[in-house]
Amino acid sequence: MRIALVGTRGPGFYGGFETCVAELAPRLAERGHGVIAYARRWSPARAFEHPGVCVVSLPSVATKNLDTVTHTALSTAHLLVRGRVDVAVFFGVGNSPWARTARRLGVPVVLNVDGLDRLRAKWGRFASWYLGRAEEWSARAADVLVTDARSVERYYADVYHLASTYVPYGAPERPATGTATLDSAGLQPGSYILYVSRFEPENNAHVLLEAYARSGLDVPLVLVGGSPYESSYEQSLHLAAGPGVRFLGFVFGEGYRELQSHAMVYAQCTEVGGAHPALIEAMGFGNAIVALDNPEHREVLGEAGIYYTTTDELCDRLVELCRDARRREDLAESARRRAGALFSWDAVTTAYEGACREAIDRRGRSRR
């Protein structure tokens, strides 16, 4: 098959979809498929290299509300005119109109809708309305609908009466051994709390900062991530941070692996969306994890971590874990075992292969 991967910032940049494309594209190529991965011209993802993956870098209107839709529009036009693909995999429910366009013009389509993006606080009234409508349009936008969490799968079944294919994200198979990134940041292995996410209000970095300040802990709090657009929220985090907080910005590749592999505690504070890849990665790297108590995190983490519901509880959980090495070791081993059993990138690749073949087969049957 010749497969197009559409709608992300590009492989190996940041975010769940970008991680998925970075892991999925090479594996599909190694299984003999032709792979086109679309990247935004402003992102470093265009430098992604793999002998079997063709990265097509296209421009976009790089603002919060227009970046995705303009880039996906150009990507869809490119694949229709020059791509010569057998199937297209679109990422993000906001890309439903373009997925539907490709489908109506004869391209079999797989659409990964992700979580409930319209609920994110960063969106204004129009963007939230548009994403809500895009949810409704997704029924006619794809031959195969993909969801990355059972809770999202149930949501689409209950609200839109749509059957979807559940495909989670994968976990890393082994931790990193190097410490170059830690050394450059002045960090010691096993002696810092790690948070990884885009800086958006519903990802609750501000809650973690407050809990950390109350805790009195003397281990650093390391925040990996940021906002790709100008953000007053990100500025507020810097203003609220005490002396023990380190902002490292976006970190990719081996540097990211090192930070995940050597953390004392990993904090997952997100409240909107489906399964979060950073949480699955933290499990695979063998971290002691504290997570906001919600169905999505429970689904992924199970009993392999501990949970909080309030800022005070998060403060208490951080203190408990940082003071109890044996508890951290037990949680880390449980997380590693669970990740190995439930989240495999090879299994994810097989699932996407199956979804692509099903989309092609459905389109063939509809034509007949």
The C-alpha atoms of residue 335 and residue 260 are separated, in whole angstroms, by: 13
Q: Is the pLDDT of residue 10 over 90?
A: no
Instruction: Please tell me whether residues 124 and 42 are part of one structural domain.
Output: yes
Top pLDDT among 170 and 140 is at: 170
pLDDT in tens, 67-80: 888 999 999 999 99
Is 18 contained in some domain? yes
Is 175 contained in some domain? no
Is 114 contained in some domain? yes
Is 67 contained in some domain? yes
Is 356 contained in some domain? yes
Top pLDDT among 117 and 30 is at: 30
Instruction: Please tell me whether residues 160 and 226 are part of one structural domain.
Output: no
Q: Is the pLDDT of residue 367 over 60?
A: no
Instruction: Please tell me whether residues 152 and 213 are part of one structural domain.
Output: no
- pLDDT confidence of residue 14: 67
Flag the least confident range among 34-43, 319-328, 353-362: 34-43
Q: Is the pLDDT of residue 240 over 80?
A: yes
Three-state DSSP state, 221: strand
The C-alpha atoms of residue 321 and residue 334 are separated, in whole angstroms, by: 15
Instruction: Please tell me whether residues 210 and 320 are part of one structural domain.
Output: yes
Instruction: Please tell me whether residues 252 and 363 are part of one structural domain.
Output: no
Three-state DSSP state, 123: coil
The C-alpha atoms of residue 258 and residue 184 are separated, in whole angstroms, by: 12
Range of the domain at 263: 180-342
Mean pLDDT on 123-149:
82
Instruction: Please tell me whether residues 50 and 165 are part of one structural domain.
Output: yes
Q: Is the pLDDT of residue 228 over 60?
A: yes
- pLDDT confidence of residue 159: 86
The CATH number of whichever domain residue 166 belongs to comes to 3.40.50.2000
pLDDT in tens, 13-66: 767 788 899 999 999 999 999 999 999 888 776 668 888 999 999 998 877 778
Instruction: Please tell me whether residues 99 and 241 are part of one structural domain.
Output: no
Instruction: Please tell me whether residues 29 and 142 are part of one structural domain.
Output: yes
Average pLDDT, the chain: 90
Count CB neighbours of 187 within 10 A: 22
Instruction: Please tell me whether residues 313 and 236 are part of one structural domain.
Output: yes
Instruction: Please tell me whether residues 242 and 94 are part of one structural domain.
Output: no
Q: Is the pLDDT of residue 200 over 70?
A: yes
Mean pLDDT on 141-156:
90
Instruction: Please tell me whether residues 190 and 257 are part of one structural domain.
Output: yes
Q: Which long-range contacts (CB under 8 A, 24 or more apart) does 163-169 make?
A: 164/113, 165/351, 165/354, 165/355, 165/358, 167/112, 167/348, 167/351, 167/352, 167/355, 168/275, 168/280, 168/300, 168/342, 168/343, 168/348, 169/16, 169/19, 169/20, 169/275, 169/277, 169/280, 169/343, 169/348
Mean pLDDT on 249-262:
92
Is 312 contained in some domain? yes
Is 327 contained in some domain? yes
Is 223 contained in some domain? yes
Instruction: Please tell me whether residues 75 and 44 are part of one structural domain.
Output: yes
Q: Which of 73, 106, 79, 77 is nearest to 92 (CA)?
A: 73
Q: Is the pLDDT of residue 91 over 80?
A: yes
Total domain count for the chain?
Answer: 2
Flag the least confident range among 110-119, 131-140, 186-195, 197-206: 110-119
- pLDDT confidence of residue 269: 96
| Percentage with pLDDT > 70 across the chain | 93
